[in-house]
Every structure is written in structure tokens, then in C-alpha cells.
């Protein structure tokens, strides 16, 4: 398989091909979200079934399991190993969803897609950061965030254009993801292995350092790792308990709480994600290597809180909806996910950089899975306002953690950051770091 893409894929082309994991991830979530109401009507699904689809999807537990194993395999066998196989499984999953005629088919396809998506995400952030120039790391990592934002914008637009076709339109959207996945998989076969990963493996072999043993133990026992885990899980989990639920349920909320039509709901999401694309490029990618990352993070976090304050306490009228979309859509471009992808690749040693991300991603998506499972019932029994207040609490927690603990890593190479946090390799020889 690796010989198929004989022509080498390097530079920005390599970055973009790897970043497409995020387009595919977000596109999968939105393809499911934009069609949730239609699947519910077609298959006569109750709240439990809807919650189960969300909880096991690329938005939650399916991706969590994939990331846990994908991160470990990425560190053990190389970043390129993941890119050889993950999208093959993904193509099987989205194809199964596209041709589903009953709930078991839809559920199995959703699970396979989620696992495949999760396996590729830690590898993408890791590879991009390891191959990026030190003074342009935010710009390169931002490409993943840009792809993550572009996926929903295009998918929601397709949902609007294909709305007259009903559920057939949704099936076509999943086929579009299958085609994108195949093209991306083909291009990725020309990727070279991460130079940092190869260098680390060669040093391990030379010095006789054991391979990938005790990763979880070291994550918990070494102080720099504990600090990084608290920061990264703190910002990404609590932000994602809101954003992850939005990614899957927002069109559902617009329609069932706000009384919007499916087309109106999807057009709002097109606008929201288009704003995220714009601020990812013009704020995160352009300014993330030049200005205070703490300040950028703080501005985005406060904007997100303001958005949910408006939506929760002013009701769903057109003013509040547009204000919400403007604030949240803009903030998401340089919010927790963008900085998580950057800091998660900077704050751990090369030896288990992807594995650490896999563990964190697992915990975050597990949290989203639990919240996504109960959210439809919470809104049904307690109302949207109660759910909105809970979302605001999550956002406030992530804001405080990020502003207080944001690291100063601008312009530093990954080797320099690792040495500052863990010491030089010779000082830790014989320890599985």
C-alpha cells in the first residue's frame, strides 16, 4: 500500500494532507448532525437511540476509543503507520452509513467511522507540529483547525443544497466524505516519517531505552506531565462539553427549541463555521506565532461565554441567534481546540507525544459521550435554559484554567521545550521518557 503514492508528499502539501483528518472528523460529525432529524423520522428513533448515536459517534466515544489506540500505535510504529490504514476503515464506516436502511446499520457505521476518525486525530496534530518550523508552528498546526472548520462549513452548505432530496441528500454527503477520504489517503502514501520520531527511535536503540513502557505511569508521576494534563484536559474537556454537544445537536436545538426549519438551521451553521474558518486563518494562524497566546486564548474564551449568555437568557429570536453565531463562530477559530492542538504537541516528549494526546482525547470524548447521551433528556425534561446554564459553567471553568496556566512556548523548537521541561536526553537516560 505504501508504494501506491510513490511521489513524495512534503512541505505544505504534507501539512494539508495530514490536516484533512480534521476535515473528515468535523465533516462526519456535521453530516450526522445535519441529518439527525431525518434519521429520527425515517427510523422512528426515540431519545435513547438519538443519544446513543451521538455518544458512539465521531463526536464522542467512538473517536475516544480510536484515539486511545491510535495514539499508542502512532508512537510505537510511527506517524506514517496510522496514515496507511486509518482512512481505509473510515471509508468502510461512511459507506455503511450512506447505505443504511435500519438502526443497526446506522449505528455500526457510526461506530466504525468514529474509531477511524479518532485514530487519525492525535497523529495529525503530532506530525504537523513535529514537521513545522519553530517560528511557524501555530500557522502549521492552525491548518488542522482550518480543515476542522472548513469541513462543517462545506457539509452544512451541502445539506442546504441537497435538502430537497431529503434523506438521500444526507446519503450523498456521506459519499462526498468517502471520496475526500480516498483522495486524502492516496496523497498520504507519499508522506515521509516524522524526523523527530525517527531520531528518537534511533537514540532509544543506541542507548537501550525500553520502548513505550509505563507511559500512563509517567504521565501521572512526572510533574511537568501532570501540569500539562491539568491544563490540556481542563481547557479541552470543559470547552468540548459545550462545543461537542453543539457540533452534534445544534441543528436539532435550532429546530426543536427555536422552531427553525432544517434549511434555516443549516444556513446558520454555514455562517457560524465560515466565521470560524476566517478567524482561524486571520487570527490563530497569522498571530499565534507573533503575539501572546494567553491573550488570544482569553479573548476567544470570553467571547464564547458571551455567546452562550445571550442564547441562554434572551431566548431564540433572530437577534439572539445572529449574535450567538457571530460571537461563537468567531471565537471558535482561536479557541480551546486550536490551542489544545498546539500545546498538546509542544508539552510532551516526542517518545509519547501522540500517546499522551490519545489518552487525553479519550478522556475528553468519553466526557462528551456521557453528556451527549443525557443532553436530549435534559432538554426534554428540564428545558433548554437549564442545559444552557450547565454549558456556561463548563465554559467558565475552561476559561479560568486556560488563562491561568497558558505556557510560553512561542518560537521555541520542540527539542528546546522538551529540554526545558524534562532535561536533556542524557540526564534521563534509561528512563522510558
pLDDT by position in tens, the chain (length 433): 444 444 676 677 778 888 887 888 778 877 887 787 788 889 988 878 887 887 777 767 888 889 989 998 998 888 888 888 889 999 999 999 999 999 999 999 999 998 998 888 888 889 888 888 888 999 999 998 888 888 888 888 888 899 889 899 999 999 999 999 999 998 888 888 888 888 888 877 776 655 445 677 888 888 999 999 999 999 999 999 998 777 667 777 777 777 788 788 878 888 998 999 999 999 999 999 999 999 999 999 999 999 999 989 987 788 888 999 999 999 999 999 999 999 999 999 988 899 999 999 899 888 887 887 788 788 778 888 898 899 999 999 999 999 999 999 998 999 999 999 988 765 444 444 4
Cβ 128 vs Cβ 146: under 8 Å: no
pLDDT at 232: 96
Euclidean distance between CA atoms 143 and 39, whole angstroms: 32
Answering whether pTM is above 0.85, one says no
Cell of 267: 444556513
Q: Long-range contacts: 9-15, Cβ < 8 Å, 24+?
A: 9/187, 9/188, 9/189, 9/190, 9/191, 9/192, 10/192, 12/143, 13/187, 14/131, 14/191, 14/192, 15/128, 15/131, 15/132, 15/140, 15/143
Longest dimension (CA), the chain: 65
Euclidean distance between CA atoms 325 and 433, whole angstroms: 43
**Residue ranges in 257-292 assigned as alpha helix (H):** 262-279, 286-287
pLDDT at 328: 95
Euclidean distance between CA atoms 349 and 255, whole angstroms: 46
Cell of 384: 433548554
pLDDT at 85: 85
Cβ 72 vs Cβ 358: under 8 Å: yes
Q: Where are the beta strands (DSSP E) in 338-427?
A: none
Euclidean distance between CA atoms 288 and 414, whole angstroms: 16
Euclidean distance between CA atoms 115 and 66, whole angstroms: 4
Per-residue buried b or exposed e for 79-114, using 16+ beta carbons within 10 Å of the residue's own CB: bbbbbbbbbebbbebbbbbbebeebeebbbbbbbbb
pLDDT at 427: 44
Q: Cα-atom radius of gyration of the chain, to the nearest Å?
A: 21
Cβ 184 vs Cβ 17: under 8 Å: yes
Amino acid at each position: 500500500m505504501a508504494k501506491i503514492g510513490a511521489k513524495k508528499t512534503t512541505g505544505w502539501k504534507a501539512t494539508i494532507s495530514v490536516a484533512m483528518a480534521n476535515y473528515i472528523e468535523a465533516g462526519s460529525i456535521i453530516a450526522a448532525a445535519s441529518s439527525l432529524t431525518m434519521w429520527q423520522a425515517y427510523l422512528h428513533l426515540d431519545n435513547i437511540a438519538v443519544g446513543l448515536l451521538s455518544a458512539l459517534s465521531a463526536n464522542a466515544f467512538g473517536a475516544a476509543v480510536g484515539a486511545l489506540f491510535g495514539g499508542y500505535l502512532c508512537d510505537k510504529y510511527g506517524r506514517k503507520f496510522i496514515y496507511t490504514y486509518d482512512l481505509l476503515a473510515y471509508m468502510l464506516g461512511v459507506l455503511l452509513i450512506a447505505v443504511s436502511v435500519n438502526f443497526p446499520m446506522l449505528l455500526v457505521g457510526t461506530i466504525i467511522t468514529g474509531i477511524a476518525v479518532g485514530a487519525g486525530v492525535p497523529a495529525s496534530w503530532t506530525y504537523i507540529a513535529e514537521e513545522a518550523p519553530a517560528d511557524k508552528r501555530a500557522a502549521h498546526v492552525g491548518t488542522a483547525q482550518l480543515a476542522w472548520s472548513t469541513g462543517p462549513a462545506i457539509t452544512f452548505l451541502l445539506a442546504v443544497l441537497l435538502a430537497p432530496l431529503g434523506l438521500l441528500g444526507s446519503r450523498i454527503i456521506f459519499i462526498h466524505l468517502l471520496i475526500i477520504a480516498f483522495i486524502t489517503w492516496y496523497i498520504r502514501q507519499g508522506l515521509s516519517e516524522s524526523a523527530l520520531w525517527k531520531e528518537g527511535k534511533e537514540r532509544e536503540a543506541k542507548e537501550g531505552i525500553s520502548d513505550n513502557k509505563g507511559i500512563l505511569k509517567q504521565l501521572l508521576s512526572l510533574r511537568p506531565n501532570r501540569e500539562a494534563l491539568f491544563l490540556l484536559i481542563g481547557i479541552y474537556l470543559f470547552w468540548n462539553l459545550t462545543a461537542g454537544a453543539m457540533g452534534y445537536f445544534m441543528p436539532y436545538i435550532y429546530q426543536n427549541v427555536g422552531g427553525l426549519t432544517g434549511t434555516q438551521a443549516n444556513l446558520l451553521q454555514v455562517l457560524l463555521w465560515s466565521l470560524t474558518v476566517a478567524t482561524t486563518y486571520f487570527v490563530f494562524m497569522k498571530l499565534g506565532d507573533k503575539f501572546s497566546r494567553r491573550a488570544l486564548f482569553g479573548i476567544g474564551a470570553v467571547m464564547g461565554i458571551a455567546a452562550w449568555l445571550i442564547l441562554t437568557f434572551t431566548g431564540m429570536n433572530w437577534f439572539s441567534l445572529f449574535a450567538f453565531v457571530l460571537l461563537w463562530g468567531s471565537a471558535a477559530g482561536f479557541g480551546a481546540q486550536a490551542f489544545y492542538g498546539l500545546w498538546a504537541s509542544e508539552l510532551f516528549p516526542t517518545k509519547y507525544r501522540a500517546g499522551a494526546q490519545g489518552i487525553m482525547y479519550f478522556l475528553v470524548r468519553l466526557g462528551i459521550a456521557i453528556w451527549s447521551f443525557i443532553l436530549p433528556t435534559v432538554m426534554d425534561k428540564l428545558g433548554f435554559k437549564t442545559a444552557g446554564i450547565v454549558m456556561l459553567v463548563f465554559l467558565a471553568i475552561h476559561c479560568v484554567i486556560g488563562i491561568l496556566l497558558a505556557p510560553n512556548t512561542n518560537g521555541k523548537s520542540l527539542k528546546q521545550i522538551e529540554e526545558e521541561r524534562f532535561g536533556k536526553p542524557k540526564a534521563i537516560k534509561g528512563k522510558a521518557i
